[in-house]
Amino acid sequence: MLYYIKRDYKEIINKEPSPKSFGGGKICFMGKNILILATTGGFLDKFEMENVRILQSMGYKVHYASNTYDMHYLFDEKEVTEKGVQLHHVDIARSPYMLQNNWKAFQQLIEIVDTYHIQAIHCHTPVGGVLGRLVGRYYKKRKLRVIYTAHGFHFFKGAPLINNSIYHAVEKLLAPYTDVLVVINQEDYQSARRMRLKRGGKVYKIPGVGLDTEKFKPLSQEEREKKRKELGIGTEDFFLVSVGELNENKNQEVVLKALLRMRWRRKKLKNIRYGICGDGFYENRIREDIRRWHLKDTAIMYGYCRNVQEILGCADASVFPSKREGLGMAGLESLAMGVPVLASDNRGTREYMRHGENGYVYSWNDVGGFCEGIERLRDRTAEEKVQMKQKCIDSVESFQCKYTNAIMREVYENIDRKLR
């Protein structure tokens, strides 16, 4: 399989642009134009608006290309365009094995770069990172600049062999067409530093996409009680919350298994409620687990939540059991609201989790560990709750937007100088 992927990529890499690809016979939009590329439609609105504001302050017209039919994150297209962003649909697929879709997306990206005189591409998501850098290679004579933000490499310590062979090989293949490689955790930073980037290329580590501590801050006692009442959560209930897409990686199933084991041991789950925020391919599977394990009085599925900060803020603890994370904004957002986290141990959560201080950390498949963590968080004294709340807030101070923005401004300014 690796042979076929590398073969197809090399066909693209070795292909030279036709004369009309440099603007011949087409309308060119002069000025400073940058393209942000990702697979899903709502990625920009959820993660990239701070970068949009930085670029616009530098005089750039920001374009955003994604598969607008893949609405993994809800967003208002009209609201985004009113903020000055020009949207483009491309048939990019999340799976790297959907070569027909991604080949078409590659051609569409060439059309966008050509028509709008794009001078730099900032690409995100694994397939976006591949296609964006292939486009950069295609336009090497124009010196199109390429930034790739890796929100967690798919090759890492403990990853499946196929990940550590295919994804690592593709990253090495594309590194020479990368001007800037941005990563969000220390393990990925060490891997990135070993990559041979384009001459003059540079690796940056940022503290995630930026934590909005104005949006995610502790609720007042009055706000907390009001929201719990709206959700039907009793004052004596211990309320756990998970936030994230319902899929295999996010691993909500281990929490349900922990609750099931606790019920077997104690005959009942004393005042424990588990709220699941999110949607995805595993929704029906999780619903079936809840039904089959007779947890319908304990587990509540809220679906996709726009007001997730209100639900997080009234929780007693959040659960973040992902098998892998580049960083994990849901964990950071919970801590910023003073809510301790019961997390799995991975390269992302290691950036901010401190076992016994701002929550507890266990292996992603340790059902017994998650049982223990739930009980330890539930059985805290009032004084311990106050102390842990402050430690939660303190532990995410360095992940605030202002720190990410400062680094990203430096990245963009360096690229801007190279374009002059």
Q: DSSP string spanning 274-331?
A: EEEE--STTHHHHHHHHHHTT-TTTEEEEES-TTHHHHHHT-SEEEE--S--SS-HHH
Considering only CA atoms, give the Rg of the chain. 23
221-398, what's its fold? Answer: Rossmann fold (3.40.50)
Question: What average pLDDT does range 389-396 have in this prediction?
Answer: 98
- Kindly indicate the confidence band of residue 143, based on its pLDDT and cuts at 50, 70 and 90: confident
- Kindly indicate the confidence band of residue 39, based on its pLDDT and cuts at 50, 70 and 90: very high
| Burial category of 195 from C-beta neighbours within 10 Å (exposed 0-12, middle 13-18, buried 19 and up) | middle
92 and 132 Cβ atoms separated by less than 8 Å: no
User: pLDDT tens, 172-183?
Assistant: 999 999 999 999
* Fold match flag (7-208+401-419 vs 221-398): yes
340 and 392 Cβ atoms separated by less than 8 Å: yes
Cβ-based neighbour number of residue 385 at 10 Å: 13
pLDDT score for 11: 54
Amino acid at 203: V
Amino acid at 419: L
244 and 84 Cβ atoms separated by less than 8 Å: no
Outline where 186-252 has alpha helix (H): 186-193, 221-231
Three-state SS for 49? helix
User: pLDDT tens, 144-171?
Assistant: 999 999 999 988 888 777 777 788 899 9
What is the average pLDDT value for the chain, to the nearest integer?
91
Residue 282 φ/ψ, nearest 5 degrees: -90, 10
The tokens describing 133, both together, are 């850098």
What is the pTM assigned to this prediction? Answer: 0.89
pLDDT score for 111: 97
Domain boundaries, the chain: 7-208+401-419, 221-398
Residue 3 pLDDT exceeds 50: no
Classify domain 7-208+401-419 at the CATH superfamily level.
Glycogen Phosphorylase B; (3.40.50.2000)
